Amino acid sequence: MRFHSKIEFYFTVYFFPTHEPLINPMNYRFPLHDVSIKLITKKKEIKHPLYEYQTFRVSPNEIQVELEGMGSLLIKNGNQIEVFIDHNLPKFHMELSLQHMGLVGILHQRKLLNFHASAVAWNGMGIMICGDSGVGKSSLTAAFCEHEARFVSDDVTVIQFKEEKPYIQPLEKYMALRMGTIEQINPTSTASGMHPITGKYLFEYPSQSELVPLSHVLWITPNDGNEFEFTSLGGVEKFSMLRGEICEWEILKGMPETEVEFMRQLLLISQMIPITQVKRNKASGIKEFFNAVLEYMELESLR
């Protein structure tokens, strides 16, 4: 799988500990194809932001992100990112920032609802997997992909509405897995490298190329007990849970029109899509966890 994006800056991004370039600047791994990324030598600032929060300065069409000791991003108009880099910055640090804040900023400006979540296409269903960092979103996603599901997204999941119905938009993005996960699921594909910052190994699974209907949301939370618990959420609980999973929710205070649109979309999802809280036993292995989820989803698909 290759990744193409319009590139206007000229530095090498590194993934491997050996500092060998994984990709060259003309084949940069940004998940969206129609975004112009430009390196600037003089930092720009938003003069009259509607909202300032920690390292953010936000107006409806511009988001400035200060990256302490690294540089800054200026995200503009839903299709441009200007990158200012501290001269001492290892290039893979900025790549991480582009992959998250650059992507999320662009999606917010396009009014595309996005969640801190992973997603798969399974039996014609789009399943979005939410939960805090470390609860097993990527592990569960990889386990699904090892059992004939198609990969849709990892870490950031985008929802696009068509005729007022939610669909998951695939992102061309690798899946990042920890060694503990790899040892348990024994992936059929080979890692393309290890990220030197996160220590995670990078995999590319067969991916979904078309929009897939959002059919179910799984919200993973830890459980101190010995069992897996599955609980269907009600309307208010759904809305609250989804709101808490939106990427970088705080910056929407400087984007009032986007915030209103996201609230409307959250309400639609809450009314239409089943959401299940999955309480995972902390001591459970990935295969045990996946088998419990798979059994539940198979029963749900028969309803």
Per-residue pLDDT of the chain (303 residues; tens, 9 = 90+): 333 333 333 233 333 333 333 333 334 468 888 999 988 888 889 989 999 988 999 999 999 999 877 889 999 999 999 998 876 666 667 777 888 899 999 999 999 999 999 999 999 999 999 998 888 899 999 999 999 899 999 999 999 999 999 999 998 777 889 898 899 988 887 888 887 777 888 888 877 789 999 999 999 999 887 789 999 999 899 999 999 999 999 999 999 999 999 999 999 999 999 999 999 987 789 999 999 999 999 998 877
**Span 112-145, pLDDT tens digits:** 999 999 999 999 999 999 998 888 899 999 999 9
**Span 39-51, pLDDT tens digits:** 888 888 998 999 9
> In the chain, where are the structural domains located?
7-109, 113-301
Element (H, E) at 244: helix 235-245
Which tokens hold the place of 182? 């790899």
Residue 25's pLDDT is: 35
Residue 270 has phi, psi (to 5 degrees) of: -60, -35
Q: In 10 A of CB 180, how many CB atoms?
A: 11
Written out in words, the top-level CATH class of the domain with range 113-301 is alpha beta
Residue 90's pLDDT is: 60
- Look at residues 270, 115, 144 and name the one whose alpha carbon lies nearest to residue 208: 144
Using alpha carbons, list the distances in angstroms from residue 10 to 13, 201, 292: 10, 26, 47
What's the chain's Rg over C-alpha atoms? 19
CA–CA dist 117, 130 (Å, integer): 5
Residue 226's pLDDT is: 78
Query: At a CB cut-off of 8 Å and minimum separation 6, what does 248 contact?
Result: 101, 104, 105, 108
Query: At a CB cut-off of 8 Å and minimum separation 6, what does 193 contact?
Result: 15, 16, 22, 201, 202
Query: At a CB cut-off of 8 Å and minimum separation 6, what does 260 contact?
Result: none
- Look at residues 158, 151, 169, 165 and name the one whose alpha carbon lies nearest to residue 208: 151
- Specify whether the CB–CB gap between 49 and 57 falls below 8 A: yes
Residue 21's pLDDT is: 35
Per-residue b or e along 43-76, where b marks 16 or more CB atoms closer than 10 Å to that residue's CB = eeebeebebeeeebbbbeebbbbbbeebbbbbbb
- Look at residues 218, 192, 188 and name the one whose alpha carbon lies nearest to residue 203: 192
